[in-house]
């Protein structure tokens, strides 16, 4: 059905409506829709006519189908939101309101919609404080209205009752942080989906209050690399608080306790994306009551509001002196020359992750460096991988079989501290090497804008002064990157 025909049908239907012939208008639109079921404008008008015919469920169905057919119209989103509010479905109503404002915040048809939804949400909460839909909706409304801190409070309360609301994250934070807008980016980061529910800590989440004389729990989130990355801020909060308890992946406990002796470090199960949050909090019973709790990834909001707030350091993780010395002696026994650690993939390979790792052929300029001993720091390397690399590049790849690079993070840190440099794909390993202050090159097969953690920096990676982060997608880009890395390693 052409645009002119659609407009003609809608105009005739509106004439029937104005004349009070609502059923005739409805029948005309239904007939047109049977000929072309994808006409969002007609579908949406059927929603209005259904309202006039006192059939709110049919109206809601039509408004939803209109949005499904054309999600780019703020008017359609508004109409759906109003119908959902009337039906008491406040969570999806909030999503529709957010979509409408995202499409056109200046759309005049949105006037009063926030007030209507906020009143409906507060009324529902007054009746039942555990109404998670109302809590979630109120958080959305307040966020749109600019009341960010209060919005976050209601959002977290909703998450405690229904952690699935975390999946509504629009990932705006990643775009803002990638562009260097740290104040807004860190605030938006508080809605990140990887947190899920904060459970029993929901009401004591730290929001920047004075920590003098206070006890605070810092909850390590996500994988090893993320927990090491955000450890950049642990020294700051330890300085500010009376007592800091840190909960991290059990593999990091010994390393973190040595690096932050003034804190209490507790280990818990390995983080997996499918398992979400930590669950065992009984260990806290042995310590003084908490005043505050904060996810580790929330610390930069307060301690790293701009690139100039990142400290210059030569590493903040401290390896075991005895083990570090032993590894240095063992590495020295391999013979003269630089000892360069290499890793080329993650332990867990998925189809999506595979695209982020440069092919092993790209390492050729590095492997061509003369007088260098190459130390495999690739966790779970197979014998076939070792044989293939040695045959392909004509090198000896030194493998230290008596270290568990996947689970023994303390000994891994000691080994890394004895290397002259590390060249690695994007895994936890370069994060740890750089957190130990070692010269590190991390290569990611993706555009720079895909890495939010670069925070819009022109060149230097703000988290680790000793790390050079390289981005390339094409074979030519990656070849140039590894040639440059080889030159920089040669200058060592």
pLDDT digits (tens, 9 = 90+) for 373-413: 999 999 999 999 999 999 999 999 999 989 999 999 999 99
What confidence tens digit (pLDDT) does each residue in 205-252 have? Answer: 999 999 999 999 999 988 899 999 999 999 999 999 999 999 999 999
Residue where a domain terminates, one of 134, 157, 189: 189
Q: How far apart are CA 56 and CA 308, in angstroms?
A: 55
Q: How far apart are CA 349 and CA 425, in angstroms?
A: 12
What confidence tens digit (pLDDT) does each residue in 338-369 have? Answer: 999 999 998 766 555 667 899 999 999 999 99
* Tokens coding 463: 């988290």
Residue where a domain terminates, one of 144, 169, 189: 189
Whether 60 and 162 share a structural domain: yes
Whether 468 and 445 share a structural domain: yes
Whether 292 and 329 share a structural domain: no
Whether 149 and 282 share a structural domain: no
Whether 173 and 86 share a structural domain: yes
Helices (H), 87-197: 90-103, 113-127, 132-144, 148-161, 172-178, 182-189
Residue where a domain terminates, one of 309, 335, 366: 309
Q: How far apart are CA 24 and CA 36, in angstroms?
A: 19
pLDDT for 390 equals 96
pLDDT for 458 equals 86
Question: Does a structural domain hold residue 316?
Answer: no
- Domain count along the chain: 3
* Tokens coding 256: 């973190």
Whether 293 and 366 share a structural domain: no
Whether 14 and 86 share a structural domain: yes
Could you count the other beta carbons within 10 Å of the beta carbon of residue 2?
Answer: 8
Question: Does a structural domain hold residue 463?
Answer: yes
Q: How far apart are CA 10 and CA 114, in angstroms?
A: 29
What confidence tens digit (pLDDT) does each residue in 153-206 have? Answer: 999 999 999 999 999 988 899 999 999 999 999 999 999 988 888 989 999 999
Whether 73 and 143 share a structural domain: yes
Q: What CATH code is carried by the domain that includes residue 361?
A: 3.40.50.2000
140: domain range? Answer: 3-189
Whether 345 and 485 share a structural domain: yes
Whether 268 and 385 share a structural domain: no
pLDDT of 16 > 90? The answer is no
pLDDT for 274 equals 45
Q: What is the mean pLDDT of residues 307-329?
A: 96
Q: What CATH code is carried by the domain that includes residue 56?
A: 1.25.40.10
Whether 423 and 290 share a structural domain: no
Residue written as token pair 């800590």 = 201
Q: How far apart are CA 457 and CA 182, in angstroms?
A: 11
Q: What Cα–Cα distance (Å) separates residue 362 from each residue in 42, 105, 184, 437, 492?
A: 56, 47, 37, 25, 21
pLDDT of 276 > 60? The answer is no
pLDDT of 126 > 70? The answer is yes
Whether 205 and 111 share a structural domain: no
pLDDT of 270 > 80? The answer is no
pLDDT for 433 equals 98
pLDDT of 284 > 60? The answer is yes
Q: What is the mean pLDDT of residues 477-489?
A: 96
pLDDT for 275 equals 44
* Tokens coding 177: 């942080």
Q: What is the mean pLDDT of residues 119-134?
A: 98
Q: What is the mean pLDDT of residues 266-278?
A: 64
pTM: 0.90
Mean pLDDT of the chain: 93
Q: Is 60 helix (H, G, I), strand (E, B) or coil?
A: helix
pLDDT for 196 equals 84
Question: Does a structural domain hold residue 194?
Answer: no
Question: Does a structural domain hold residue 314?
Answer: no
Question: Does a structural domain hold residue 315?
Answer: no
pLDDT of 33 > 70? The answer is yes
Output 36-43 pairs: Cβ under 8 A, ≥24 positions apart: 36/1, 36/6, 38/69, 39/1, 39/6, 39/69, 40/66, 40/67, 40/69, 40/70, 40/73, 40/76, 41/6, 41/10, 41/66, 41/70, 42/6, 42/9, 42/10, 43/69
Q: What is the mean pLDDT of residues 421-426?
A: 96
Confidence of residue 133 (pLDDT cuts 50, 70, 90): very high
Q: How far apart are CA 203 and CA 293, in angstroms?
A: 9
What confidence tens digit (pLDDT) does each residue in 65-116 have? Answer: 999 999 999 999 999 999 999 999 999 999 999 999 999 999 999 999 999 9
């Amino acid at each position: 059905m052409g645009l002119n025909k659609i407009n003609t049908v809608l105009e005739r239907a509106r004439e029937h409506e104005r004349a009070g012939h609502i059923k005739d208008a409805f029948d005309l639109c239904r007939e047109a829709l049977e000929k072309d079921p994808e006409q969002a404008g007609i579908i949406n008008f059927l929603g209005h006519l259904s309202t006039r015919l006192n059939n709110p469920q049919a109206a809601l169905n039509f408004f939803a189908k209109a949005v499904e057919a054309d999600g780019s119209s703020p008017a359609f989103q508004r109409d759906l939101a109003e119908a959902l509010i009337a039906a008491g479905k406040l969570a999806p109503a909030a999503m529709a309101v957010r979509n409408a404002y995202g499409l056109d915040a200046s759309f005049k048809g949105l006037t009063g919609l926030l007030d209507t939804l906020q009143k409906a949400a507060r009324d529902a909460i007054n009746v039942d404080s555990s109404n998670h839909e109302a809590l979630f909706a109120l958080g959305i409304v307040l966020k749109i209205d600019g009341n960010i801190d209060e919005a976050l409070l209601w959002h977290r309360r909703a998450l405690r009752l229904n952690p699935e609301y975390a999946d509504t994250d629009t990932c705006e934070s990643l775009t803002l942080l990638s562009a260097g807008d740290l104040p807004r980016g860190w605030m938006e980061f508080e809605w990140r989906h990887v947190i899920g529910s904060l459970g029993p800590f929901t009401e004591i989440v730290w929001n920047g209050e004075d920590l003098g004389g206070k006890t605070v729990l810092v909850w390590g989130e996500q994988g090893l690399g993320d927990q090491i990355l955000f450890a950049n801020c642990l020294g700051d909060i330890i300085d500010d608080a009376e007592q800091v308890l840190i909960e991290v992946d059990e593999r990091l406990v010994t390393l973190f306790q040595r690096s932050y002796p003034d804190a209490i470090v507790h280990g818990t199960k390995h983080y997996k994306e499918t398992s979400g949050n930590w669950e065992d909090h009984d260990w806290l019973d042995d310590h003084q009551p908490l005043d505050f709790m904060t996810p580790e990834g929330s610390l930069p909001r307060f301690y790293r509001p701009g690139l100039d707030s990142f400290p210059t350091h030569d590493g903040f993780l401290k390896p075991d002196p005895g083990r570090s010395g032993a590894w240095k002696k063992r590495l020295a026994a391999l013979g003269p020359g630089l000892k360069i650690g290499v890793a080329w993939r993650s332990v867990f390979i998925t189809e999506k992750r595979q695209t982020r790792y440069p092919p092993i052929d790209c390492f050729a300029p590095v492997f061509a460096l003369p007088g260098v001993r190459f130390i495999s720091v690739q966790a779970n390397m197979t014998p076939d991988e070792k044989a293939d690399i040695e045959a392909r590049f004509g090198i000896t790849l030194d493998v230290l079989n008596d270290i568990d690079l996947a689970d023994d993070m303390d000994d891994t840190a000691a080994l890394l501290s004895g290397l002259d440099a590390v060249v690695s794909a994007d895994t936890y390993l370069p994060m740890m090497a750089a957190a130990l202050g070692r010269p590190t090159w991390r290569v990611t097969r993706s555009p720079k804008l895909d890495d939010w953690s670069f925070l819009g920096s022109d060149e230097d990676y703000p988290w680790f002064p000793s790390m050079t982060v390289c981005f390339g997608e094409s074979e030519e880009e990656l070849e140039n990157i590894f040639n440059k890395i080889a030159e920089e390693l040669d200058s060592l």
